[in-house]
Amino acid sequence: MSDQNDKHTEKDVDIIAGQESDQLKMLRSILIGPEKDRIAHLQKRLDSPEIYTKELSKVVAEAIMLRSSNDNKIAQVLEPTIANTLKASVKKDPKALVDAISPIMGPSIRKAIVNTIGGMIQSLNQTLEYSFSLQGLKWRLEAIRTKKPFAEIVLLNTLIYQVEQVFLIHTHTGLVLQHVVAKEVETRDADLVSGMLTAIQDFVKDSFSSGKDESLDTLRVGDRNVLLNHGPYALVAAVIRGTPPPDYTVLLDDALDTIHVKMGGVLEAFDGDAAPFETVRQDLEYCLQAQFANEKKKISPTFWAVIGVVVFLLLSWSVFSLQNYYRWSGYVKKLSNAPGIIITENEKKSGRHYIAGLKDPLAPDPDALLKETGLKREDVVFSWKPYHSLHPEFVSLRIKNILNPPDTVTLELENGILSAFGSASGQWISEATLLMRLMPGVDGFDFNRLGETVPDENEQIRHMISSWSESARCNALEKRIEGTIIHFKEKESINIPADQKSVLHTLLFDFEKLFQLARLAGKQVYVEIVGHTDSIGTEKINLHISKKRAEAVREFLAARTLETGGSFPVLSQPHMCKSCHAQRVKTIQDNFKTVGVGAGQPLRKEVLEKDRETNRCVTFNVSITDIVSDKDQHE
């Protein structure tokens, strides 16, 4: 039964299955018939490259855009292919590439060529133009006189402006990244200049600037302007002689921008290696601009005519005077030409000559001169008043004595203007500058040309920094010195105790510094060394001991400074003969006065022995005054 049953069941199932699959098929075709068609269509699209490509082409650009905004993969993947393609393309037909890039290369090549040739033509023109003209002759003389190359003189006289150097400086460290110099410009070490420029900016920022974003934009050193343009990581500094057009700074800005774009990452990570910045040389070189004047001034014929007339008049006058007053006027002329003699009156009365005037003690003797002419002494009445001559020869002599110029300096006095040529140390120049203000017979001075031959930027810049703050520092040093006390522990002793010597040692450096700074600030320093005693003993003896203590301290300071070649008291009178020992000792005595006040000005009220010990001492009073010039005194 069960078998039958089973069979039946199997069959049933079969039938049901058969029925079902047919039904399902129908159902399926009813339900998903349209989709099936679409899938078949899709399959066809995928299998057919033509259609697929067509489809992809619609979105490929957007896809690349999307991916590129996410990462750099596409560029990396395509790079070798594109490189190969370019290579292949150039191999096949270089002309296509040339055509494509010539619009970019053309102008820059042209610019380079024009610059080079332009520069050549310019200097050739100038040299030719000025070599043979009257102007040129004048400048040749100037060149010989100032011992400078002719080309430089031409340059100086025809220049409107020239950018001599351009620095690219790393803002954070102040180190030079790149430095370019115009042709034929002499320069100092770029590293040092860059350092000093950075130091100055730091100083100015510290001292004057209120906001964080304020920075130094221009700077004057001698006759040069320095323009500074600041970027986020670097700055460009252009050293310019003359005045550049106002839009020049735009040029600098452009260069700085370009450099920041090109080198942004390298700048940010800079750690002392400037080699990569070789690539921005050209950008900086483009900033080395210059402009020259070409106008020629013709001397008008009237000028020559006037000169001619003047010369003619002079000639006839002197012939006339030779004829009429041969002897006498010859003599008077001789006298008035003699340095240090000024004739104020010259009369002939009843056959006798009366001559009155001023005479410098250094002037030649009028009697002796008279003898040479053969005139009779009895015919002449002299009346001389003594005076200090401003005759250039005398003034020159005095100037030489006082300034004591080094061999490298030539001084020239003309119309009361003292000019210096050659070279000298910055220190000598500043001392000389100070002294010249006090010289009678010198109305002005021109050390500019001297400065140019010694363009020690370091020195000049340091001087600039210092002049801002010397006075303040002097005052601070003054306070410190006045706070110094030398203790004399032993009663009645006038010997400096051994343990006080190191205090004096330090004091010596203080004085050195004070005298130097004071000189820079144009001040004079006087020191009073004050000796004290305790209140025990008679007044007379105490005054004596205290004075001796002050003298002992001065003795120690003087001996020490003379022995170590210290210079402080000497520098307050810089024109003094530095090698004269005796004179130095005298200067020390003039600048350092000693007094003994006994127990008159005790440091403390005396109660214990300890207080008395404190009162046995030496203290210092410092006074800093302006140097008073002769002129000021007369006025």
Partner 1 sequence: MIQKKICMIGSFAVGKTSLVSRFVDSIFSDKYITTVGVKIDKKTISVGTQDMTLVLWDLEGEDEFQKFRVSYLRGTSGYLLVSDGTRPNTIDVALKLQQEVETAIGAVPFIFIINKHDLIDEWKINESDIDHLRSKGWEVIKTSAKLGQAVEEAFLTLGARMLGT
Site map (CB under 8 A) of partner 1, residues 554-573, x = contact? ----------xxxx------
Applying CB under 8 A, does 274 fall inside the site for partner 1? yes
Applying CB under 8 A, does 466 fall inside the site for partner 1? yes
Q: Which of 140, 260, 437, 480 binds partner 1 (CB under 8 A)?
A: 480
At closest approach, how far in Å is the CB of 566 from partner 1? 7
Stretch that binds partner 1, among 160-168, 199-207, 608-616, 622-630 (CB under 8 A): 199-207
**For 579, phi and psi rounded to 5 degrees?**
-85, -15
Applying CB under 8 A, does 191 fall inside the site for partner 1? yes
Q: Note the helical H segments in 71-149.
A: 73-92, 94-131, 134-146
Closest-CA residue to 622 (of 471, 517, 442, 474): 474
At closest approach, how far in Å is the CB of 457 from partner 1? 10
- Which one, 373 or 425, has the nearer CB to partner 1? 425
At closest approach, how far in Å is the CB of 498 from partner 1? 11
- Which one, 370 or 527, has the nearer CB to partner 1? 527
Applying CB under 8 A, does 473 fall inside the site for partner 1? yes
Whole-angstrom distance, CA of residue 266 vs CA of residue 264: 6
Closest-CA residue to 146 (of 420, 377, 390): 420
At closest approach, how far in Å is the CB of 232 from partner 1? 15
**What single DSSP character describes residue 83?**
H
At closest approach, how far in Å is the CB of 237 from partner 1? 15
What region does 126 belong to: left with phi over 0, alpha with psi -120 to 50, or beta? alpha
Sheet holding 380-386, edge to edge: 341-349, 352-359, 380-386
- Which one, 272 or 386, has the nearer CB to partner 1? 272
Class of residue 618 by CB neighbours under 10 A (exposed 0-12, middle 13-18, buried 19+): buried
Q: Are 532 and 546 in contact (CB under 8 A)?
A: yes
Q: Are 461 and 224 in contact (CB under 8 A)?
A: no
Structure tokens at 586: 């005298």
- Which one, 171 or 419, has the nearer CB to partner 1? 171
The three-state secondary structure class of 169 is strand
- Which one, 338 or 622, has the nearer CB to partner 1? 622
Whole-angstrom distance, CA of residue 35 vs CA of residue 29: 10
At closest approach, how far in Å is the CB of 218 from partner 1? 20
Q: Which of 219, 370, 418, 517 binds partner 1 (CB under 8 A)?
A: 517
- Which one, 271 or 635, has the nearer CB to partner 1? 271
Give the other-Cβ count within 10 Å of 391's Cβ: 19
Whole-angstrom distance, CA of residue 172 vs CA of residue 267: 10
Applying CB under 8 A, does 45 fall inside the site for partner 1? no
Binding residues among 353-382 for partner 1 as defined by CB under 8 A: none
Residues near 14 by Cβ (< 8 Å), separated by ≥ 6? Answer: none
Site map (CB under 8 A) of partner 1, residues 487-506, x = contact? ---------------x--xx
Q: Which of 458, 583, 621, 629 binds partner 1 (CB under 8 A)?
A: 458
Closest-CA residue to 474 (of 511, 430, 506, 528): 511
Stretch that binds partner 1, among 65-73, 269-277, 344-352, 416-424 (CB under 8 A): 269-277
At closest approach, how far in Å is the CB of 188 from partner 1? 11
At closest approach, how far in Å is the CB of 99 from partner 1? 42
Closest-CA residue to 564 (of 606, 605, 611, 504): 504
**341 bridge partner residues:** 359
At closest approach, how far in Å is the CB of 124 from partner 1? 37
Binding residues among 129-188 for partner 1 as defined by CB under 8 A: 170, 172-176
Whole-angstrom distance, CA of residue 287 vs CA of residue 227: 12
Applying CB under 8 A, does 435 fall inside the site for partner 1? no
Whole-angstrom distance, CA of residue 502 vs CA of residue 135: 66
- Which one, 473 or 544, has the nearer CB to partner 1? 473
At closest approach, how far in Å is the CB of 192 from partner 1? 5
Closest-CA residue to 97 (of 84, 110, 87): 87
At closest approach, how far in Å is the CB of 474 from partner 1? 11
Stretch that binds partner 1, among 110-118, 201-209, 444-452, 523-531 (CB under 8 A): 201-209
Closest-CA residue to 201 (of 228, 170, 175, 241): 228
Residues near 399 by Cβ (< 8 Å), separated by ≥ 6? Answer: 411, 413, 418, 439, 442
- Which one, 267 or 418, has the nearer CB to partner 1? 267
Give the other-Cβ count within 10 Å of 167's Cβ: 24
At closest approach, how far in Å is the CB of 426 from partner 1? 12
Q: Which of 45, 145, 400, 479 binds partner 1 (CB under 8 A)?
A: 479
Whole-angstrom distance, CA of residue 523 vs CA of residue 96: 77
The three-state secondary structure class of 299 is coil
Q: Contacts with partner 1: how many residues (CB under 8 A)?
A: 44
Applying CB under 8 A, does 215 fall inside the site for partner 1? no
Stretch that binds partner 1, among 15-23, 80-88, 190-198, 313-321 (CB under 8 A): 190-198
Which residues bind to partner 1, rule: CB under 8 A?
170, 172-176, 189, 191-192, 195-196, 199, 202-203, 205-206, 271-275, 458, 462, 465-466, 470, 473, 476-477, 479-480, 502, 505-506, 509, 512-513, 516-517, 520, 564-567
